[in-house]
Amino acid sequence: MSDRFTHFLAGFLGVFALCSLSTGALAGSDEEKMADIKKNGRCPRCDLRLTELRFLTVENVNFNRANLRETDLKEAVLPGGDFQNSDLRRTEAERADFSGSNFTGSNMRSADLEKANFTNAILEDVDLRDADLNASIANNANFDGADLRGAGFIRSVATGASFEGAKMDGVNLERVDLSGANFKNARIRQGKLDRIKADGADFSGADFTGVRLVSADLSNANLTNVNFDGALLRRTRLVGADLTGADNLDPSRILGACGDENTKLPRGIELIECSY
């Protein structure tokens, strides 16, 4: 065999191996797949459906356009990962660390993300319908334009997070810390916001149709031009809040809500002075 042909064959096989790693399903057992991902730090476009990758630990992993549907990523540690345009439908990722990761354009519908860490993560335009994000950490995360209809965030912490323009019909934000969060022009119809802490949050232009705000703290919140059609405000704290231009506030559905001298209200709406 000539040296020229030998070099050609070696180069061809090397390119073939690289392409197989980058675009196909990794061969072997789940343990072997995990070892390959740890070694190479990447598996873009890989088909990893139903694979068990529990406890996988890789920093800045590349899963761009990967198929991770129904994959087991429980307690995986994957900070700074690239998950853009990936399929994570029904993925199990309880207690996973996705801090600083980019999920832009991914499908995460019905994913189990309970107690996961999304601090500083990018989730713009992500499909998170019916996802379980209860007790998650999402401080400074970006959910702009995301579809969060039916998602659950009970007892989560999302201070400084952004949900601008997000679809959040039926979302459950009960007991979530949303201090300083951005909900500009978000659609939160029929959402459950009981006991939220949203001091300084910006809800300007949001749709609060049918929203429940029971024992919620909206101190210093920007509620200008919010649509409150059918919303319930029971024992809601509005100290320093700005409701200028808010529409469809029904006095009969404002029960024990309170404010102070700095609260700005639409004409015809009055609140009791806060004593709590």
Give tens-digit pLDDT for 14-31: 444 444 444 445 668 999
Who wins on pLDDT, 49 or 16? 49
Residue 6 has pLDDT above 70, yes or no: no
Averaged confidence pLDDT in the chain: 92
The distance of Cα 167 from the centroid of its chain, to the nearest Å, equals 12
- pLDDT above 90 covers a percentage of the chain that reads 89
Q: Which residue matches tokens 């057992």?
A: 29
DSSP state for residue 256 in the 8-state scheme: S
Residue range 130-156, pLDDT digits in tens:
999 999 999 999 999 999 999 999 999
Residue range 51-106, pLDDT digits in tens:
999 999 999 999 999 999 999 999 999 999 999 999 999 999 999 999 999 999 99
Residue 8 has pLDDT above 90, yes or no: no
pTM: 0.90
Q: Alpha carbon of 156 to those of 130, 153, 159, 179: distances in Å? A: 16, 5, 10, 12
Q: What's the pLDDT at 276?
A: 77
Residue range 181-216, pLDDT digits in tens:
999 999 999 999 999 999 999 999 999 999 999 999
Q: What's the pLDDT at 3?
A: 54
Instruction: Print burial letters for 30-57: b (CB count within 10 Å at least 16), e (below 16).
Output: beebbebbeeeebbbbbbbeebbbbebe
DSSP string, 90-157: T-B-TT-B-TT-B-TT-B-TT-B-TT-B-TT-B-TT-B-TT-B-TT-B-TT-B-TT-B-TT-B-TT-B
Q: What's the pLDDT at 228?
A: 98
Q: What's the pLDDT at 4?
A: 55
Q: What's the pLDDT at 13?
A: 43
In whole angstroms, give the CA distance from residue 190 to residue 187.
9
Over range 100-119, report the average pLDDT.
98
45 token code pair? 């476009």
Please check whether residue 191 is in contact with residue 172, taking contact to mean a CB–CB distance below 8 angstroms: yes
DSSP state for residue 159 in the 8-state scheme: T
- pLDDT above 70 covers a percentage of the chain that reads 90
In whole angstroms, give the CA distance from residue 69 to residue 73.
11
Residue 113 has pLDDT above 90, yes or no: yes
